[in-house]
Amino acid sequence: MLICRYVTAKAFTGTYGINYGRIANNIPTPNEVVRLLKAAKIKNVRIYDADHTVLEAFRGSGLDLVIGLPNEFVKDMSSNADHALTWVTDNVKAYISNTHIVGIAVGNEVLGGSDLDLQNALYGAVKNIYNATQKLQLDKVVQITTAHSQAVFANSYPPSSCVFKEDVAQNMKKLLDLFTQMGSPFCLNAYPFLAYMGSPDQIDINYALFNPTDGVDDEKTNLHYDNMLDAQIDAAYAALEDAGFGKMEVIVTETGWASDGDENEGAATPENARTYNYNLRKRLAKRKGTPRRPKSMLKAYIFALFNENSKPGPTSERNFGLYKPDGTIAYDIGFPALKSSSSVSSRLSFKVFGAQTWHWSYISVLTACASSSFLFLRS
């Protein structure tokens, strides 16, 4: 039975983090990645599974690591508490003494997706994983979360009018109740890139890129937004307030901009990707909140560390990296390249791509963003 009490687990230091995706056959080894992250002074890292080669590489590194329970395991963990206990024992308890595992992300973008059985299973999986951390006395050091796409929102214009979709509201409320008991934040994958791609003729790209712009005013709250990401985050805060969870923190678990794309993805350029990520880094360094939550310091994990050549979907999917597979920078936002005496010839081989899949439905999120894109019109 779940013990309802607040815990002190916190999974984020400072304001800046990175998603270390590995759906590729040509990226540096985990040991080289640790060296790269330490050189770049990026402390907060998320992975999408619990690969033991990565956990071993992070031993003694001092980096804070959030591991993932992939979507394909969610139903099993929901229906079998013993399996959840075994998973936490094997992937967290066995490593946490030397590898600083600070969080477990249970599934990714489950609510708002097309698999209703998966949506219904998410609450049980989160509860069983949390109960396992309690039994293993890890609940005060490992934070349990799940990340949501913007597809969970019914509308987002103005930001203060955002609410959760009716078809996800029931599962969402149960989950938010549980997260309140655990002291966990609401994790949002927010992509101005996708919103702009949905309606490039209606959205000022400077607004999406944090460049100077007239911005947008929310007439209901008299708040002004000079960039799209802040508006997307405050829309999430409004939805949480509407659902009765106004005290819950919002953390951005994915955001980024593609540096290359297909012919119909004209905004995916190295210049735009550099502009977005450079300006985002400056925005986070200010350590300030959003217009709706000015005292709640914005925290974000950037997607992603590397371009990943084995990801399916449009070309943009394979070009979100701050780094190229050889460890050189994709564009300069102030981070160093990987310096190695040997070419990056020692690579990981990936036996099960399913355990590392991003689980981001590009089309569904793009459609959701496009349908509400008038939020981001220039005023």
Catalytic sites, residue numbers: 109, 254
Here the tokens at position 234 are 């405050």
Q: Which helix (H) or strand (E) holds 104?
A: strand 101-108
| Residue whose C-alpha is closest to residue 18's, from 1, 50, 41 | 41
Exposed (0-12), middle (13-18) or buried (19+): which is 175, by Cβ within 10 Å?
Answer: buried
- Are 328 and 306 in contact, with CB atoms under 8 Å apart? no
Here the tokens at position 17 are 């983090």
Q: Other CB atoms closer than 10 Å to residue 149's CB: what's the count? A: 25
The C-alpha atoms of residue 269 and residue 308 are separated, in whole angstroms, by: 16
Backbone phi, then psi, for 83, in 5-degree steps? -65, -35
The C-alpha atoms of residue 350 and residue 23 are separated, in whole angstroms, by: 8
The C-alpha atoms of residue 358 and residue 329 are separated, in whole angstroms, by: 22
